[in-house]
Structure 1
Amino acid sequence: MDELLNELQEHVERVRGGRDRMQTLLDAVVAIGSDLELEDLLRRIVQSAVDLVDAEYGALGVLGEEETIRQFITVGMDEATIARIGHYPRGHGILGLLIREPHPLRLDDLGAHGESVGFPAGHPPMRTFLGAPVQVREKVFGNLYLTDKRGGVPFDADDEAVLRSLAAAAGVAIDNARLYEDSRQRERRLAASEDITRALLSGAPPEEILHSLADTVREMTGCDLVTLARPVGDDKGLVVEATAGVEADRLLGLALPPTTLAAKVYGTGEPVISDALSEDPRAMGGSGSQVALGPAFFVPVGDRKGVRGVLQVANLPGRPPFTEGAVDMVLTFADQAALALEIAEHRRDAEHLALLGDRDRIARDLHDQVIQRLFAGALTLQAALGRIRDQPTAAERIQRVVDDLDDTIRIIRTTIFGLQHRDRQEGDGGLRARLLALTDEAAQNLGFPPALRMTGLLDTDVPAGHAEHLVAVLREALSNIARHAGATRVEVGAEASEGALRLTVADDGRGIDPAVVRRSGLANLRSRAEELGGAFRVTRRDPAGTLLEWTAPLPSASGTAG
């Protein structure tokens, strides 16, 4: 009787345990089904799986392109352990087996399996294993991985059944979260389109629309940084013309060499995704070399026939990668942005043509009417001089008037020539394009491309004489660095703001003695600054290198002809 009672009690305990476990599973299904934020949902799924099967460690590997793990969400490890391990798994070993064969897998000893490749340095030891795929509409979204059942016992068939049930419910919850996110993205995209349309109708210039685009994309994606690079000059070099987010001011005006991912996207018209931009071997130079960036993607603004720029959307290291929905949303918005930019540029070109027409009309009227009348008036006064030679005082006054009229005629002719000459200059390559070409040329002698940052209205506010001096100074500075500094990094900054033109060239080379500033080529750079009423100085950088600073005041814009 005692044995029967014990067996009955054990049976009751199993039934009660199964009922409690089923209730826990139902509670977990309800909990994950009520969460519509995808990132929070994924972490809740892993936590629920760990609790249900009483595992010490759990993870969810989200699959990306080419059957690799794009995102890895863990439970049971602290931040210090994760930092020691380093990068999350790529999808090799047992994890890769579950990716290739998406079926539940239960192992009593991970290390004894033929597919096992061991653990990286700093990884905690693990023995028992239970895995199951998470499918969303018959497509594998990712895999749940559980290790080390508490108590030192292996996972059993009941654990596998519970995990399979949770994985099925997780697939439905993930699908709902994606649909919810898609609807939110559509709303954000419509709101962004309204903002762009409003900016166009208000007649905003292209520069303002560019910054509005960057702000809108950052708000749409919730990312840390957005940059928009545009082509400059005939060689199709790219310069960051709009930024939003962290370190935005530092990247504004940065020139992007041809080795960057942005340049690749501009050339191909195809988007590019990176899991860790600053560590990506495909990205040489660019914003990832100036600011530590993690997950990022690049999309063209426009199509292959007419790419007008490249949008970069990036997060800081440690933040999750972007979803496919976020990339598609920005791609769609970029097409609308390209149309908005095209309309704004057409309007600017029309205004520019109208301005040129006004200048031509003003020059013609000055020549045909004003000069002719002044000339006729001067001839009349000269004829009158012969009749009043006997009145020296009156004759002297009339002669002064004639001389003033001659001077006025010369000034007007100079103004006409200036209007026509300015029209010709505006059709040539601007200062920004010349600086970009010069740094590209210097890369051959330096062995690496200098980092170039340009801010302000360099093409419009800088007179031709100032531009020539600036280009000459930069060429001499880069040549000196290539010959003498032994530098591995050069940063160039050109800025036109607050009534001054500034150039800075910094390197990490051997440095120079400040006492040699007045010698050789450096003396020439100083004389160029003093000729324009500016200043020049060279200082040592800490811990190594040289900083060159060249400034010159800009003439007041009030004296220019409109």
Structure 2
Amino acid sequence: MSNATRISELTAAVLNAEDPDDILDLLADSTFEILSPDSLLVLLPLNDSTWVCELVRGQYQAELLGASVSHSSETTDSAPLPFVLDHDSQEALATLTWSDLTHALADEDLPAPAGSTSALVAFPIDAGAARRGLLIAVRFADEDSDATAAFTDAENVSAASLAALFSFALNGSTGRSAIEDDLNDERNRIARDLHDLAIQELFGVGMQLETVMSQASRFPEYSDEGPVATSLKDSVAGIERSIAEIRGIVQSLRNETVEVTLSQRLRHECGLAIAGLGFVPSLHLQAPVAELDAIEGELKEDVVAVVKECLANVARHAHASAVSVSITLFKEGVDTVIQVNVSDNGRGIDPSITRRSGLANMGARARRHLGWVDFYSLDPGTMVSWRATIIAE
């Protein structure tokens, strides 16, 4: 069975999973089999400044399982592993070594096996709540043999897809967090209780008061214009107003939903694209999540639409086995620019196709934000690059 087929089967398992712990164990076992490293580690955030080695497969399992590393963004220490975890640095991630890893995680250095060289690949895992973890695979090779420890390009593609699967497993394929679901459930519960309990109770009290008014009219001293009658009428009117206000609150609670952020919308689109692609697209948010999620309005909708269009084009035309979606923020003079790069390893752009309405749509979306879109041939595949200027309010 090919790695692409196995990753597709894992994707189906993630999308249908009920127990998050079981699916994470399955992903760790499968990743170890697919990449064939000597050691496999999954680091996940415990809180804002501490990461724990939650899953380990292969060598050094006893030494590294449960090991933790902490780092504060306020410190100047730039030890490679903590710096990568805390600062979301792609450059530092690419230079991470086995020595960096064990020095940060173990009480003492865990040297590679004697007479061997090591190679390491690491890919970020989106752990939700603007936090991230790492999927790390390490391989050792004897210095005196012809074997190499390095991971191939195909293995790097598989590792990126598997890291994306860990992200989906931790966040849910819809991109909505458990906290948001809990909030919506709580709103629905409050709305239901207000409607079924509070309104019914007020109805009952109102009916009792109307009965009292009806029975009181039998007494000669009771007057429709007297203080008792006036007080009863005011009470009934107050109850009717309260019922109307509660009904308005119930309607508001039922209509109100948690606003989904840009990063969540992007995860959602990548999740939806799995069905058409047959594999997991990798999503790289190469910017602080808080800054990305501050993007709202038309620009937010255009970024999501561009990613959706690119993924749909790959599914329809590219015959690819891997897709990478990269979102970057950077300064260009006084302006802040958002750049979306979507690359695949498919068959490239067919020169016989001259009508590209999708690219025209993306161009129009870019121009209204003082940006542009272009595409580039890769070997193999294609990259669409779209950028827009973030206009300060």
TM-score (norm 2): 0.40
The structure with the greater share of residues assigned to helix is 1
**Larger Rg over CA atoms:** 1
By relative contact order (CA 8 Å, sep 6+), the higher-ranking structure is 2
